[in-house]
Amino acid sequence: MAAGTGTDRRRGGTAGERPSGRRAAALGAAAIGGALALTAAAVSPAAASPGHDRPGGDRPGHHGPAVRYVALGDSYAAGPVIPTQVDANCARSDHNYPSLIAAADKFASFTDASCSGATTVQMWKPQGTNGPQLDAINHDTTLVSVQIGGNDVGFGSIIATCAGLSVTNPAGSPCKDHYVAGGYDQLAMNVLTTAPKIAQVLRAVHDRAPHARVLLVGYPDLLPDDGVGCFPAVPFAAGDFPYLRDTEKKLNAMLRIEALFGGAEYVDTYGPTVGHDMCKAPADRLIEPLQPASPAAPAHPNARGEAAMAQAVQHTLDRSGRGHRG
């Protein structure tokens, strides 16, 4: 838990030739190492640009109060490597899904505090030149999107570990064997221990913006939903594809539950992206593999993936009005 949050009390109700075998795994692990370096805090001393106001009011044709939107989150919200990068410290794109939503809806104001590499801790603590993300929210905020938890569970280290272990038993499940070696599923435990951190974030958002509509955004389909792998293009062992798929599903299920009990609306980005995972052909995938073919960080959404998540968020917004909790 982040320090200094004890006053939060209220709980509301991602075709060419392909390397093979050991070389593919080594390249995959190296790619993830590069991604971790990219998404670490303070990638560059360049000044951050935590947000910007947009002129105008709410969405055209909407006669309700002006919407003031703040986006919080990690690299899946920030859009590392996707052009155009507008914040070197946070590897943030102006074509990430928060920016696409804000551009389409022409909100009264828009602040994007998302930052690659963020965990729930960065909601309260600075990350390089990016201030505590919660500081972007105030009493006048009417819409908040939050996508966080993947780094608390350990996305980057998990992918690097599984890619490295794949060469030891490509037909087996060496990654799963590694994470259950202690007699319990360490990754499932990581998801469970992240749940109260998500609950704390939602309480803090509601405390700072009591009238805001809050969206908790899930993670897109990273690996084939049918569990069938694509080694060596994505260098995980055959038995680890379904294990890692199920781990992500557990994370999303936890986020859905925390949204339900935390006064937020869950945005499903997994369902709309099934069939467009990192194993698919470049023209079909929304998530880039460990060796991206489109501008994106390894195992992250490309520009089309961010657009798909924007569509999922907008679908949720359109279900029952926009921008105010009521």
Catalytic residues: 75, 300
Closest C-alpha to 96, from 248, 220, 263: 220
Q: What is the CA radius of gyration of the chain?
A: 19
Amino acid at position 82, single letter: I
Cα separation of the two ends of the chain? 30
User: Helices (H) and strands (E) in the chain — how many of each?
Assistant: 9, 7
The string of DSSP codes covering 24-93 is HHHHHHHHHHHHHHHHSS-SS-SPP---B--SS-SSTT--SPPPEEEEEESHHHH-TTSSSEEETTTTEE
CB 297 within 8 A of CB 288: yes
Token output for 38: 């990219």
CA neighbours closer than 13 Å in the CB half-sphere of residue 198: 36
